[in-house]
Amino acid sequence: MVAALVAEGASDSAPNTGELSLAKQVLLADPDLRFDPYAVLVRFKACATAEERDEAIAKVGGCVQRTFELVPGLVKIEIVGSVENAIDTLSPLNSIEYAEPDFVVRPDSVIPNDPNFNQLWGMRNTGQMVNSDPGVAGADTRSTEAWGVRTGDANFVVAIIDSGTNLSHPDLAANLWTNSGEIAGNGVDDDLNGYVDDTKGWDFFGHDNNPSDGGHGTHTAGIVGAVGNNGIGVTGVAWSCKLMVLRFIGPTGGFTSDAILAIQYAVRKNVRVSNNSWGGSSFSNSLHDAIHEAADSNHLFVTSAGNSGLNNDVTPYYPAAYNSSNIISVASTDNNDARAASSNYGYISCDLGAPGVNIYSTYGSSYSFMSGTSMASPHVAGTAALVFIQNPSWSYLEVKARILATVRPIPSLQGAWQSGGILNTAAALGVAAPPPNTAPVVTITAPTANGSFVEGAAVTFCGSAADAEDGSRTDHMTWTSNLQGQFGVGGVFSVTTLRVGTHVITATAADTAGLSASQTRTITITALSVPIAPISPSVTRSGTTANVAWRDRSNNETGFQIRRERRIGGQWTGQIIVGIVGANVQSYANTGLTAGTYRYSIRAVNGSSTSAWTTWVSVSIP
């Protein structure tokens, strides 16, 4: 099922349904629609002949609605009958690589209850109040430090693939991309890209040249590139850039095929970064292939991890969970450097965190406050733009690696996603490179150095491990002995099983990067003196119970062992230890015996030392 994560007010006005395809009219009427009910996406194999393609299309009574140059062989086919039947018919054909639904995807955000908050804590957090919640100073992206080096480039383009953007917003208008290859209003496709008068981008949902919308896409655009230092409103991560507006999401979602067209549009125009704050739970081969092919054009695809609070490694959310190397998957964090409760995560499928709670940005013709991984993703997209601008010859892999290598590591986020940290825009630009990773500092506080302990006594071990980057690693400490190997884990525990001898004790701890450190301490375990054997053994019967008794003569035993044999065929056999009792105890009841003759003897024990056995005493059970 496709996740229904729809931003409230994602569109300021409903499009004219008379100009929309039947599938999009259905989508507007059914907010929970999973896929286009009238078409499928099909990728033909490279070896498929024209005859095989025509035959396949005819089998579902269809016709080709559109082709996708970005993904060779991919087409959208209008069908007769159900989507399920069409896929079942097409999938087994040798000419077809795959056939699948044209899934609906939706924005990854929600509007919070208080729209009046106007503090950009994600850029600079001084500990200010956020909805009556004080933040932690420094829990931000260090953007103000980054701007001392670079604020953007008026020629660098970032594609906002979303629900559209308000083209007349006073804090965005100066940073909107203009298609230099198109002459506005002449009704001609001047740049021959298939779109007429696409001067500001394209609306793939409404299929026109006006991708304007005041909702979700306007908010994400403002985070990426609202005009900075202009005396009004807010600022984006990149003060100066060009925002290419590509609308494919309507009020209730958008189709995968239109998302692919938007990606294709951006790639054709050599756009190197796109922000994609949307997704769903259905795997689409077509979308995966489109993103993968975009990598060949050095395109970095920044996307939100989703807002279900789930582990994307276990319950994938797409496109964030695709394995394409040009994807950066972004989780949401709050103003205390914690993962937002609603944010998806995943050590394999999620890359880093970024501010996504209570984010103030452009909305409608003004400003508003929104939360979600939709807001986290554009922080990273804006940073990627700055890194590309600073390093114009870099590949998307180099930009991605720089962003992930310079996060602020947060101990509580280790394991939540690959980098274990939060976006650090300044460090990505080399302004505040993270400190070198250091090994933990391990300290043993107990037992005392060169201490001596009697065998069997409880020896308490106590220590700590502190790491400058990862915090406390005490719980991960391992304790080993040169005589016995590993015998304990953690900061405090006791052991009674150390053998006699001189032990070199080593406490070791490693950090999340694998650096380790240790401290050693030598102690001695001395043998206990041999206890005196008990005397006067006796045994009596009570039903099927043998009551064994003896006299204790030792003052240093830790307990007594009772052994037993049985008389069978004229011989005593089957010797076993049937019981162990504590120090100073002088009796033992061996219950549940079957008919036969039994004999018993007893000895005192003290650690590994034992006394001699007493003489045997016997009893018969009728």
How is residue 376 written in tokens? 């986290």
The answer to whether 162 is a known catalytic residue is: yes
Going by their DSSP bridges, the two strands 300-304 and 273-276 should be labelled as parallel
Structure-token pair, residue 386: 């700055």
Catalytic residue among 36, 102, 108, 162: 162
Residue 43: both structure tokens together: 């990728």
Give the separation between CA 384 and CA 399, rounded to whole angstroms: 7
Alpha-carbon distance of 11 to 491, in angstroms, equals 55
Which phi and psi angles does 22 have, rounded to 5°?
A: -60, -40
Separation of alpha carbons 44 and 167, rounded Å: 38
Give phi and psi for 378, each to the nearest 5: -65, -25
Is 216 part of the annotated catalytic residue set? yes
Contacts of residue 51, defined as CB under 8 A and 6 or more positions apart, other chains included, come to none
**CA–CA separation, 296 vs 242, rounded Å?**
22
What's CA 429's distance to the chain center, in Å? 25
Catalytic residue among 169, 216, 219, 379: 216
Write the single-letter amino acid at 608: S
Which residues in 586-600 are b (16+ Cβ under 10 Å) and which e?
Answer: eebebeebeeeebbb
The structure tokens 């040009």 sit at 326
Evaluate whether 290 touches 317 at the Cβ level (below 8 Å).
no
Distances (CA, A) of 563 to 296, 493, 534, 582, 606: 78, 33, 14, 15, 17
Contacts of 496 (CB under 8 A, 6+ apart): 456, 457, 458, 459
Report the distance separating Cα 286 and Cα 291, nearest Å.
9
Long-range contacts of 61-69 (CB under 8 A, 24+ apart): 62/86, 65/39, 66/257, 66/261, 68/257, 68/260, 68/261, 68/264, 68/286, 68/290, 69/264, 69/268
552 is catalytic: no
Which residues are part of the catalytic machinery? Answer: 162, 216, 374
